[in-house]
Amino acid sequence: MFRKLLTYDEAKKAIEQNLKPKPLGIEEISLLEAYNRVLAVDAVSNLDIPPFHRSTVDGYAVKAEDTYGADENQPLKLRVRGSVHIGESPKLSVGSGEAAEIVTGAPIPEGADSVVMVEDTHRQDNELVVYSSVTKSENVQKLGSDIKNGEIILNAGQSLGSREIGVLAALGKSKIEVFKMPTVAVLSTGSEVTEPGKPLPEGKIYDINAYSLCTAVRESGGKPIYMGVVPDEKETLRKTLEEALISADAILTSGGVSVGPKDIVPVTVDSLGKPGLIFSGVALKPGKPVTLGLIGKKPIFSFPGHPTSALLTFHLLAKPVIRIMAGKPPQETALVKAYATKRMFSAKGRRTFVTVRIKHDDAAKRLVAEPVESGASGAITTLAKADGFVEIPENQQFIDVDEQVVVQLFSETW
Ligand code: AMP
Ligand code: MG
State the 10-residue block means of pLDDT for the chain, 414 residues long. Answer: 82 98 97 97 97 98 97 97 96 97 98 98 97 98 97 96 97 97 98 97 97 96 97 97 98 95 96 97 96 98 95 96 95 88 95 96 96 71 89 96 95 69
Nearest CA to ligand 1 atom 6: 305
Residue span(s) of the chain under CATH 3.40.980.10 come to 8-25+181-325
Q: Which ligand is nearest to the CA of 290?
A: 1
Ligand 1 contact, 304 CB (< 6 A): yes
Return residue ranges of the chain for CATH 2.170.190.11.
54-141
Measure the CA angle with vertex 207, ends 203 and 210; round to 5°.
Answer: 155
Kindly report the protein residue whose alpha carbon is nearest to atom 11 of ligand 1: 305
CB 315 within 8 A of CB 217: no
- Phi-psi map region of 360: left, alpha, beta (phi>0 left; psi -120 to 50 alpha): beta
Cβ of 29 below 6 Å from ligand 1: no
Beta bridge partners of residue 179, listed in sequence order? 26
Q: Is the CB of 287 under 6 A from ligand 1?
A: no
pLDDT, position 101: 98
Q: Which ligand is nearest to the CA of 310?
A: 1
DSSP annotation of 403 reads: -
Mutate to test the pocket of ligand 1, among 204, 306, 382 (most ligand atoms within 8 A of CB): 306
Cα separations in angstroms, 51 against 116, 146, 152, 193, 227: 22, 10, 17, 60, 51
Helix, strand, coil shares of the chain as percentages rounded to 5? 20, 35, 45
For the domain 27-48+159-179, what is the CATH code? 3.90.105.10
**Residue 16 has what pLDDT?**
96
Question: What's the Cα-to-Cα distance from 301 to each of 195, 220, 311, 323, rounded to whole Å?
Answer: 21, 15, 12, 14
- Separation CA 290–CA 14 (nearest Å): 13
pTM: 0.91
**Residue 1, pLDDT score:** 52
**Interacting residues of 158 by C-beta distance below 8 A, sequence separation 6+:** 38, 39, 164
Q: Taking the domain 54-141, which CATH number applies?
A: 2.170.190.11
Q: Please tell me the CATH superfamily of domain 8-25+181-325, with its number.
A: MoaB/Mog-like domain (3.40.980.10)
CATH number of 335-409: 2.40.340.10
Tell me the sheet residues that pair with 184.
Answer: 224, 250
Domain with CATH 3.90.105.10 in the chain: 27-48+159-179
Ranges for all domains in the chain classified under CATH 2.40.340.10: 335-409
Neighbour tally for 408: CB within 10 Å: 21
328-to-247, 322, 389 alpha-carbon distances in Å: 22, 9, 22
Q: Sign (positive/negative) of CA torsion 362, 366, 367, 368?
A: negative
